[in-house]
Amino acid sequence: MTILSDKTLKEYLKKGKIAIEPLEDEMQIQPSSIDMRLGNEFKVFKVIRKPYIDPKDPEDVASYMESTTVEPGEAFIIHPNEFALATTNEYVKVPDDLVARVEGRSSMGRLGVTMHVTAGFIDPGFEGKITLEISNIGAMPVALYPGQRVCQIVFETMTTPSEIPYGHPSRNSKYMGQVKPESSRIKQDYELKKE
């Protein structure tokens, strides 16, 4: 795979091969990535007294999370050892012959805040806002502001376009077109549906 440079990113954005909207500032385009900004909706885990989360239970996963919206100018405070879901402010469309990865920004990492736990990979054909799995592994609470650049997206070429990209009718594309933080839809995984 080959990582796209700033020159190629600009060309692909201009042609519409890659879509990132709104891309309000060309300063978001870095030498080999595009900075992404934090949206204003978050999901956090409620404190509960159940022994475990059951991914096979259709009501279980979503019932553990609550949503919150941060007003303009306000901050979302992420405390040490806390986990939250959020999305990028930008809506992204990935073509069938590229993949993308979300990476944290060094400036956020130096505060002890990570932007993804495991879901940093974006399949060819995906479109939607990118889910951020935010964790504070530091010792102090950190204020996060909607509109703040918190991560970056890197695009890579594939050897050939995908035959069955994300979003294809035959594929179980659980998060296609998402525009807000979504709780895990693991209960839709085919191996958990088997009984």
- The pLDDT tens digits of the residues spanning 54-73 come to 777 766 666 777 889 999 89
pLDDT of residue 58: 66
Return the closest-CA partner of residue 144 out of 64, 88, 63, 65.
88
Catalytically active residues, by annotation: 133
User: Please, which pLDDT band fits residue 195 given cuts at 50, 70 and 90?
Assistant: low
- The pLDDT tens digits of the residues spanning 148-165 come to 999 999 999 999 999 988
Cα 74 vs. chain centroid, distance in angstroms?
21
Q: In the chain, what are the domains?
A: 6-48+61-183 (2.70.40.10)
